[in-house]
Structure formats: C-alpha cells, structure tokens
Amino acid sequence: MTQLQTLCHTFDPADVIVHLRPARPRLVDLVEKEKLLRQGVSYGQLLTPETRPSAVQLAAYRDALERNGPRMAALIASLTTQLLAQVPQPALVSLARAGTPVGCAMTRFARRRGASLPHHTLSIIRGSGIDQEALRQVQRAHPGATLVFVDGWTGKGSIAGTLASSLPAGVPPLLAVLSDPAGVADFAATHDDLLLPHAVLNATVSGLLSRTFVEEGRDSGQQLHGVRTEDHLRADDVTGAYLAALDSFDRAADQPLDPGPRPVRPYDAVLALAASVGVHDPHLVKPGVGEATRVFLRRQPAGLLLRDAAHPDTRHLNELARAAGIPVTLHPELPYLAAALIAPGPRTTEDA
C-alpha cells in the first residue's frame, strides 16, 4: 500500500494494487532516444517526457470509445467469465501500462457479479523481463492463487515471449488479453485486431503513470521497476472516466464469446512485407493497430502499412502519418489492420 500513496496515481485503490517504485528516469527527446537505441542503450532505461494529448489523439480516443466501447465491455465480460470458470483461484496481474485499465475493468465486472477477482499491476520490460520483486510481492499476497497475466492486445507476441522466458519455475506464463491478433495468448476475448480506446492515450488513461523503466546499473531483481507520475497532465486525466464508461456499457450475458479462429504466425507475413521495403530487423516492425499507434506516440515511424484505408480504427494513423510526412501503403492481404515501421539504423537494441 505504500506504493499507492507515494505514487499518487489516479487508479481507484479498490481496483488495483500498484507494484511500482517512484524513480527518476533518464529523460530524452525522440531524436536522442532513437540515436541511443542505435548505440545499444536499452529502451527500458529511456523515457520521453509526455505532452498533453493532441487533438488527433483525443478525437481518436472519443471515437474509439463510442464505436468500440460497447464491444470492449462485452469482451471484458467474456474474458472475465472465462477465467472465473476455468482458472482455480485466479488473481489478475496486469502488465503496466496497457494491461492495467483492462485488469481494472475485469475486476470491476467480477465485483458487480458478486465475485472476488484480486488485481495487481507490475512492470515487464523487453530486455529486462518481468519485475521479480513485484512478482514476489504478489505471490506473498495470494499464496495458492493462479496468477493470470493481463494485457490489452498482442502484436508480434514479444511480451508473451518475455513473460515465458523471465518467469521463475513454477509460475506458468498464463496470458489473457482482449485482442489477440498474434494468436499467442492463452485466453483471448477475440483474435480480431481492434483499436482499444486507451491505445491512443498514454499516462492520461493509465492513472497518470509513465511507461515503466529500470535505472541503469540498478536492475538487480531486488527492487521494483521504476515509474514516474506525470503530474503536469493531471487536468487531462481520463482514467476514472474511461473505466466508468466501460462500466456503463456492461450489458453482456455472463458467458464467453467465440474469439474466432486463432491466427497462426500472422506476423510472418508482416515481416515479409517490411523486408520488401527495406526493413529487415523484426524489432523495427510493429504489427497491430495498438502497436502501430504506440509507434506514432513514442518512436520515429518511417512507414505505415494498412489493410484498409477506410477502416475507422486506423483513421487516426492515417492522420498522424500525413501530418508527419510518413508514407502509407495499402496491403489488402495484411493479417492485421495496421503495422508501423521504424527506420533502420546501424544498430538496434531489444524490441521496444
């Protein structure tokens, strides 16, 4: 509970226990970040200061909430019902940040049905793995529980791989997501590529918490991963309003939905398309509308691949690409709604 009070985030403590440590990140701008990544500096040690959401972001968030909010609520209901029925003593462990609002919405859904579904959130960083100290804290809080790791969506499945490779023996890497276009999650509400509203915002829909990071030379596994509270964005925070909106859409029957057929290595097709335009490093290819959006928010995109130029879930990507002068190409055979490409450099670090 100390972290909750110290961090001063805006999640309701009844919805989630946050296992993160307030720390000072290495702050860099986008240009410097890309340069340092090419030099081999870990993405997990760098943070770009967040600015207020742009008009394009806000419009995309509101539009996605209006269009996809009811479906998202149904997916939350489906995923929660599935876990409660199939997993003995489940405890949710959401992966900050994209998984945290999902875990909050799931525990709220369970509470409305009279069920207890504990929810903790912690950090996982490609290249560093899961926060081992945070994991130990969760295990101590729920001895005998089955931990289910929650995220918003999948891209290539890098997080699933990081989870599997960094969890200690005896902790199965059970991953539950709302949107699983990569086909890698153990529990998926849908395999469709879908724009979740919180994908187009950062801290302002995630309790004012920054992206998590590790401090150089201090990733010992004996202390929590770091985070910064973006207090300067407090007036723009919609964390509570977002969860309240998802609550209001809850009309679902308490039974799982059919997620559709599980994709088999759909990212191979995306990597082949990227290679055809000169991007051969898979770390620089971000498939899925959620991952592509994050590239435009915190990396320097070099190209955008779209399946359908008129799809409403990628309208904001078109606008962001046009504003930045980024080339957009259409590929009707693309297994995802979108994929973003990052410009190749002389050297890359781990997937970001």
pLDDT of residue 351: 41
Q: Please list the alpha-helical segments (H only) found in the chain.
A: 2-7, 30-38, 55-86, 99-112, 132-141, 158-166, 239-248, 267-276, 289-298, 315-324
- Beta strands 338-342 and 285-287: pairing type? antiparallel
The arithmetic mean of pLDDT across residues 134-139, rounded, is: 98
Q: Given this model, what pLDDT does residue 290 score? A: 97
Residue spans per domain, the chain: 2-248, 267-342
Q: In this predicted structure, what is the pLDDT of residue 179?
A: 98
pLDDT at 217 (0 to 100): 63
pLDDT at 268: 97
Q: Is the pLDDT of residue 332 over 90?
A: yes
149 pLDDT above the threshold of 80: yes
Whether pLDDT at 18 is above 70: yes
CATH of domain 267-342: 3.30.1330.30
Query: Is the per-residue pLDDT at 349 higher than 70?
Result: no
The percent of residues in the chain predicted with pLDDT above 70, rounded, is 95
Place of tokens 């290249």: 127
Instruction: Work out the pLDDT band at 220, boundaries 50, 70, 90.
Output: low
User: Across residues 326-336, what is the average pLDDT?
Assistant: 96
Which pLDDT band holds residue 1 (cuts at 50, 70, 90)? very low
SS3 call for 186: coil
Q: How far is CA 163 from the centre of its chain?
A: 14
Distance of CA 121 to the CA centre of its chain: 12
Average pLDDT over residues 245-259: 89
Identify whether 136 is preceded by a cis peptide bond (ω within 30 of 0). no
Question: pTM for this structure?
Answer: 0.93
Q: Which of 195, 196, 200 is nearest to 55 (CA)?
A: 200
Closest to 209 in 3D by CA, of 175, 235, 239:
239
**Residue with tokens 């509308």, as numbered in its chain:** 289
Residue 8: the pLDDT is: 85
Question: For 283-315, how does the pLDDT look when each residue is reduced to its tens digit (9 = 90+)?
Answer: 999 999 999 999 999 889 999 999 999 999 999
Strand partners, 120: 17, 93
> Is the pLDDT at 102 greater than 50, yes or no?
yes
Mean pLDDT for the chain overall:
92
Q: How confident is the model at residue 104 (pLDDT cuts 50, 70, 90)?
A: very high
Q: Are 31 and 18 in contact (CB under 8 A)?
A: no
Residues 271-288, mean pLDDT to the nearest whole number: 94
